[in-house]
Structure formats: structure tokens, C-alpha cells
A and B are shown apart, each in its own frame.
Chain A
Amino acid sequence: MEPTNNSKYIATPVKVLMTILIVLTVVIMLQTIIVEMAMTFARTSRQPLTEQAKEPTEEEKRLSRIQYSLKQCLPDGTIHLVHQPGRKYYYQWEESSTQQIYDVNEHLVWEGIAKDCPYKYISQPMNIYGNWFQAREMRSMHHASPDVCRTLDIPVRSGNSTVEIWRYIPWRQSFIGYKTGGGIIGYAGASGFANSASQAGAFGKFGSFIAWCPKDSTTPKLLWQTSRRIYEINFEESKVELVFESPDVDIESLRVNKWGSLKPRGVESVEGYRPLLHCHTIDAKDYLIMRDPGQTVAVKTPEDWSRWRGEYGQFSATEQGIFLYRHWVDMDALPAMPENFASLSLQAQDDWLRDQEARPKKHWADVYKVDDGGNIALLNRYGWTVPGRTGRTPRWMYTWLRTRRCVSQFSPALYDLIWHIPGVRMSRSDYRGHRNEIYREVLIFIEQFRSGAGFWSFVLGALMVGFTGWHGWPRRRSRAVFIFWLVFVGLFNLAGLLTYLALNHTPVIKCPICGNRRGLGQPQCVRCRRDLPAPKPGKLDLIFDTQIAPAT
């Protein structure tokens, strides 16, 4: 079997595809390197001396104290502002530092060492991000990379030694148990512990998990979240308990407060807390699962709260009841971003952003009580104004943005076409569990480096297409191929031009008949359609035309 003449119709497009992929990769790397180098040099270059910072006024000190105070509430709904002088952020606080407590009318109600504080505030559940293992991390554990091949193994301990290991099998969505001496113990799944995988069942698509050791054991227990369910898995007692099931939609996030040994950082908890699991679904509904006694409450929050994302609503359950602490910013008073923001000049964009930052913003802290039916009642509310920030954008940021805009003019026009496909922008912003990270990173890159169909990108594109036309005209073999390359360079810009040159830069000669430039890819001249002249036979040529065979 030999390849036919038609095989070039497969091999040539494949060659073009391979070349454009390589050249595009090189162009992307160069663009990224140039932008990063510009930012590095701009940051390390000598900054102009700024004016010395003025001493803040009493009013500015008061506003700063309010802004950086922790807004804590008591079980009766009273809100206090807790402040540690000289420490702006909560992670800087220490138990041995001086602490001041103000009421909402800014009267100092207590001052002393933090650990001696007489008030027992309602503990707010912190989202223990560092200890939640998310779907993204599970996927990264299963990359095909040679240095990353990890498994999730849960030990069952007896004293100081491990007697069993339960390994999570991702494609089965269940656990398989091994004895440390060798041999399979069984399987753990949604139906519980069983002797076969089919009996145990699958947990479902993995969402996240968190683990803790009970007070009397060093065998971890897991809170295992799938797309719609939450299980508590106890390997030591071979129990799987379905804690919660979302009836209609997927679970978006979870928070815990005093669940097992899981506890939030920082503030001392009030006695008599109930273990609480706060489950937030993707349709912005909140469910509270509590123990001691067992109770599930579907909280009825107002619909306009769904506009807010992030840690604005935090629930706690004590013997006195269920409380909700909510921190929000009044964004309705601020103007919306103009629709043509991306097409404004960098200076105009910077002016608009600085104007927004300079505006004072009203913050609110609300405390609600939640009844057993899920209805919320406002107990107390405190508002404070955060002053706007003034000052210029750092120079390096300006340099970085300008450099990025310049190099983006050489990006393929295809990026803009992709960006305007319906659904692409949603995919770029979707960081929830199950999107392919490579796909999202590619979209983020396209967003950052697309040319935006600006004037200069059109000019550059037209120049490159013009050059391709001038270069390709004497070398053309067919009109269709010539037009293809023009369109190709128009779509891929610099990468397209380099690909065209890599595959089509062949020598040209002067046609001996008409005197114009012509390529050697086909026998006829593209202008006068005459063939290439045959070479004159020389004295030592062995092969010569029989019509002019020398006389013997």
C-alpha cells in the first residue's frame, strides 16, 4: 500500500494545524513574558517620593476604629464593637493584648486584657477553607502527571497503630477497606458498609469533605458532601449516616459550628452550643442541620439577599435559639459600571475606578433570630460608614495594563470571536466544583489577552494580510489556497503570519518570458502562463533531448 496523491489533502491540513498550534504557543509565551517583565521592571524601578502621610484627624481615627472593630453580638441581640488598639486585622489579635469594647453609641463599656473579657458573644462559624477538601483538589490529585498520584486513605486506628485503611475509589464513588496485614475487609458507600461494592452503593459525585478525630479516638470521621447529599462516615463503627439531602438543586457551600470536634478559630464560644451544619444551595436557599436535639430548618431569607455572594450570612445555634449574623454593603447607592467600560482608554478606566474607591460606602451588621419554622426576625442592626480611599493607582499597575494592551494587539482575532460565543463568559467565571480547569484557564487567558477589536488591532491585521497577499501572489498555486491563507492570517494575526511564512516561504525567480517574480511551486508562470524554460544541454550531460541529439 502506498499513499495516493490524495493523501496530501489529509497531510497538508494536519501540518498546518500542527504548525499553528506550535506558533500560537510560542506567541502566547512571548506575550506573557513581555507583560510580566514590564510589571517586574515597573515595580522595581525607583518610585517618586510621595508626600509624607498626614497625621489622621480625630474623626478619621474614630472611623478607622469603627471600621476595623469586630462587630459581635450577645444572645439578647446587643451589638458591641470589639477593638484591639494598634491591631488592624483580626489575624493580628492576641489573647494577651488590650481590648476595648464599645456599644453602638460609641461609649466605652469595657477595657482590659482580651482573655479577661466578661462578655460571651455568639460564636460565628468560620468557613474552614483550609480544612475543607474540595472537588478541585480531588481532581488535581488525579492528574496524569508523573509526580502526582495520590490516594485518599482513611485509617482506622487502635491505640498507636493502624489496623485498617479505607481507600476512596473515584470511579466507584465509594471506599474499599484493607486490613494492614493484607486482604480486603469490605466496601463503604451510600448504603453503608457491605461486603460488595454493589451492595455498598455509590456516594455520588464528590463535592467536598472535612475530617476530624472524636474526643476519644484517633480514627477520623468524615463529613462527606456530594452534589446533593451530606453524609457522616464513621469508619471505626462502620456507620454511614445521611445527614442532609437537598431536595431540588445542588449544594454550593457548607459551614460548620461545633460539629464533632470541628470548631471555629478565635472567639470563645458560649456554653450550650448545638452542633450546626449550614448548607447553602445554588438557588440561594439556606438549610440548618442541628443536633442535640436533631433538627433541620429551611431558613426563609428574603429573595433580594440572593444578590449577595460570600460570607455574609452566618448561623449559630445555642440553647437560647438560632441566630443569624449578616454583614452587607449598600451597593445600590453606587453607580453601575458603564457598559462600554472595556473599550474606554486606560486613563478613563482608571479615573472611573478611583472615583468609585473614593466614595464612602455604608456597611451594615444585622442580627436576626430564626424560629423553628425558618422565619427570621431582625433583633438588631448597626450601620457604619467606611470612608473612600484616595490616591493614585500604582504606576506599575498602569505600566502593566498598558503593556498588556499593546501586546494584545498581536493576539488572534479568533479570541474576540470566541469571547462573544454565548455561554463562554459564564464558563470563565464558574469556579464551582466540576469545570475543567484547563478550559477555564484558557478562557481567562483569552479574556486578558484579546485585542478587543480595537483600531490598532485592525490596522495590524490589515498590514499582515496585505503582506501575506504581496508575498503569496507570485507563489500562489491556486486561488482557493491563496484566499485560505489570507483568511487564515486575518484570523490568527501574528501567529497566522508566522505559520504562513514557515510553510510557504519558497524562493522566487524572475520569469525569463515576462520578467515578473514567480514561484517554483508549479510549472507555469502565474502571470504569463508559460512553462519554465528547459535547461540547455551541456557537453557532459548524459541525458539529452533526442530531437537535438548530437550527430554521431
Chain B
Amino acid sequence: MKFFMLLRKELRESLPWVLLAAIVLFAIGGLMLRELARFDRVTRRYSQLSAGETVSPYMLTQDSALTASAALLFTVSLGLGLVLGVRHFWIPHFTRTWPFLLHRSVSRITVLASKLTAATIGFFVFLGTVWIALYWYASRPEMFSVPAPMKVFVNGWLFIVLGLVAYLGTVLTGLSCAKWYTTKIFGLAFATLILFAAIFQSAILRAFMVIAIGIVILLVQVIEKFCKREY
């Protein structure tokens, strides 16, 4: 019961940022898709092919209609991760409101779990819903001659999970008591490493594995630090 009350509180505080991210993704991604659908060039795309000639293979490889939206999702997801991390763990430090939250009849792990759950809901429910909507739109035969490939859709979920990695990196940095010029930013630095390691994988399963390992490493440290630290 206390957990759900805390969760409601965290969701209420995160709602403006999560909604903003979802609206930006929906509006800009939707507009980009709509423009591409109006000028669907597949019938004119291959006009450079000539009879009796060798074809460069790069003429046959095409960007998906969702590529630009996927790039936008990547940026929005990382940005949301940073903002939520600051909102959940840095703002209470700056406003000195940690004692009001922690010195209650609720365990620290419950407080932490409510914040992490709120962030996870923000990513997977809000951003995930918009991404599903964009993919559905890009797969409609009346909009695009050839539907968007499933790989783009899976990549989008990868970027959403990367946003969670950015969130955990920001949280770890916020919880660290070290000086900023020593090891305080190592949380964010590690999240950046995981990000690059994931996006350069050619197999999607390996990318998810890398992210899963990164999340475990960050989460273990976040739990330990949050529960043992003095506020």
C-alpha cells in the first residue's frame, strides 16, 4: 500500500517530463512520417537502374521510413533518462528534502523501488506506446507501399532501454558523495560506455545482452549506495 502511494507520488512528479517526451516524439515523429508518406518515392526510387549494366549494391539498400523517427526516439529516450534521474535523485539533494522522504515508516528500498518503477513506467508505457503507434502508422499499406521492417521496431525498444541505462547512470552519479573531479561522474561515464557498446553490435540479441549487463552493474551499485548512504 505504501509502495503504491509512493509510486503515485513519483508518477505525479515525473508526469510533466514524461508527457513532454511522449508528445515531442509523437508530434515530430508523426509529422516526419506523414511527410514521407505523402512523397512515397518507391515507384521513382530505382529510376537510375539501366538495362545491361552492373548494379551497385548500395542502390538496393534503403533507409526505412522510420529511421528518422528512430533517431528521434534515441535522443528523446536519453534526454528523458537524464531528466528523470535529476528529478528523482538530484532535486531532493539540492532542495534538502531527502530527510522528509526517508525518515518515515517505510523502508529505503521501498522508496527506491517506487522511483525506479515510476521511471520504468515512463519509458516503457509512455515512450513505448508512442513508438508502437508510429510503427503501426509506418506499416499501413495505404500509407507506405512497403511496410517498415520489424528490425526498426525492435531497435526502437533497444533505444528505450538505453534511456533506462542513462537514467541509472544519472542516479548513480547523483548518489555519489565523491567530488565531481574524481569518481562522481563514473556513473554517467559507464552509461555512455554501455551505450556505445550496444549500438555498435550487429546482432540485436548481443546488444540487449550488453545493456542487461550494464543495467545489472548500475542497479547493484544504486541499491547499495541508496540504502547505505547518509542523507
A: residues with CB less than 8 A from B are 1-3, 7-8, 10-11, 14-15, 17-19, 21-22, 25, 128, 130-133, 137, 139-147, 149-155, 157, 160-162, 165, 167, 169-170, 178-183, 209-220, 261-263, 436-438, 502-503
B223 near A7 (CB under 8 angstroms)? yes
Chain A residue nearest in CB terms to B213: A17
CB contacts (< 8 Å) of A15 on chain B: these are 221
Nearest 6 Cβ contacts at the A-B interface: A182-B141, A133-B57, A11-B224, A146-B74, A139-B202, A211-B55
B53 near A22 (CB under 8 angstroms)? no
Decide yes or no: A19 and B53 within 8 Å by CB, A155-B46, A218-B46 being known contacts: no
Whether B183 sits at the interface, judged by CB under 8 Å, is yes
**Interface secondary structure of B, over-half rule:** helix
B146 near A165 (CB under 8 angstroms)? yes
Chain A residue nearest in CB terms to B77: A146
Contacting A at CB under 8 A, from B118-160, are: 141-142, 145-147, 149, 151-152, 155, 158-159
Among B44, B46, B220, contact of A11 (Cβ-Cβ < 8 Å): B220
Q: 14 new A-B pairs (CB below 8 Å) besides A144-B198, A167-B149, A438-B200?
A: A21-B190, A131-B54, A142-B204, A146-B74, A150-B62, A152-B60, A153-B62, A178-B147, A213-B51, A213-B53, A218-B50, A219-B49, A262-B54, A437-B202
B51 near A214 (CB under 8 angstroms)? yes
Contacting A at CB under 8 A, from B28-87, are: 42-47, 49-57, 60-64, 66-67, 70-71, 73-75
B67 near A3 (CB under 8 angstroms)? no
Among B50, B52, B71, B189, contact of A146 (Cβ-Cβ < 8 Å): B71
B55 near A213 (CB under 8 angstroms)? yes
A261 near B52 (CB under 8 angstroms)? yes
B193 near A149 (CB under 8 angstroms)? no
A210 near B57 (CB under 8 angstroms)? yes
CB contacts (< 8 Å) of B212 on chain A: these are none
Whether B199 sits at the interface, judged by CB under 8 Å, is yes
Whether B117 sits at the interface, judged by CB under 8 Å, is no
Whether B17 sits at the interface, judged by CB under 8 Å, is no
- The CA-CA distance from A131 to B56 in the complex, in Å, is 5
CB contacts (< 8 Å) of B186 on chain A: these are 18-19, 22, 502
Whether B227 sits at the interface, judged by CB under 8 Å, is yes
| Nearest CB in chain A: distance from B208 CB, A | 9
Give 11 CB contacts A-B under 8 Å: A11-B223, A146-B155, A146-B199, A149-B67, A153-B60, A153-B61, A179-B145, A182-B141, A436-B202, A438-B200, A502-B182
Binary interface encoding of chain B residues 199-227 relative to chain A, with 1 for a CB under 8 A from any of its CBs, else 0: 11111100100000000111011011001
A14 near B220 (CB under 8 angstroms)? yes
B61 near A141 (CB under 8 angstroms)? yes
Whether B109 sits at the interface, judged by CB under 8 Å, is yes
Contacting A at CB under 8 A, from B156-212, are: 158-159, 182-183, 186, 189-190, 193, 198-204, 207
Whether B97 sits at the interface, judged by CB under 8 Å, is no
CB contacts (< 8 Å) of A19 on chain B: these are 183, 186
| Nearest CB in chain A: distance from B76 CB, A | 11
| Nearest CB in chain B: distance from A5 CB, A | 10
Chain A residue nearest in CB terms to B227: A3
- The CA-CA distance from A161 to B40 in the complex, in Å, is 13
- The CA-CA distance from A404 to B207 in the complex, in Å, is 32
A150 near B43 (CB under 8 angstroms)? no
| Nearest CB in chain B: distance from A220 CB, A | 5
B141 near A183 (CB under 8 angstroms)? yes
- The CA-CA distance from A161 to B44 in the complex, in Å, is 6
A220 near B183 (CB under 8 angstroms)? no
| Nearest CB in chain A: distance from B107 CB, A | 6
- The CA-CA distance from A128 to B55 in the complex, in Å, is 11
| Nearest CB in chain A: distance from B221 CB, A | 6
B52 near A213 (CB under 8 angstroms)? yes
Decide yes or no: A215 and B52 within 8 Å by CB, A11-B221, A18-B190, A152-B61 being known contacts: yes
Whether B108 sits at the interface, judged by CB under 8 Å, is yes
B223 near A143 (CB under 8 angstroms)? no
CB contacts (< 8 Å) of A21 on chain B: these are 190, 193
CB contacts (< 8 Å) of A130 on chain B: these are 56
- The CA-CA distance from A220 to B59 in the complex, in Å, is 11
Chain B residue nearest in CB terms to A141: B61
Chain A residue nearest in CB terms to B214: A18
B223 near A165 (CB under 8 angstroms)? no
A144 near B63 (CB under 8 angstroms)? no
B146 near A211 (CB under 8 angstroms)? no
CB contacts (< 8 Å) of B51 on chain A: these are 213-218
CB contacts (< 8 Å) of B46 on chain A: these are 155, 157, 162, 218
B61 near A213 (CB under 8 angstroms)? no
CB contacts (< 8 Å) of B203 on chain A: these are 142
CB contacts (< 8 Å) of A149 on chain B: these are 63-64, 66-67, 70, 149, 151-152, 155
CB contacts (< 8 Å) of B149 on chain A: these are 149, 151, 167, 169
CB contacts (< 8 Å) of B47 on chain A: these are 160
CB contacts (< 8 Å) of B190 on chain A: these are 18, 21-22
Chain B residue nearest in CB terms to A138: B202
- The CA-CA distance from A17 to B60 in the complex, in Å, is 44
| Nearest CB in chain B: distance from A10 CB, A | 6
- The CA-CA distance from A19 to B159 in the complex, in Å, is 24
Among B56, B57, B224, contact of A7 (Cβ-Cβ < 8 Å): B224
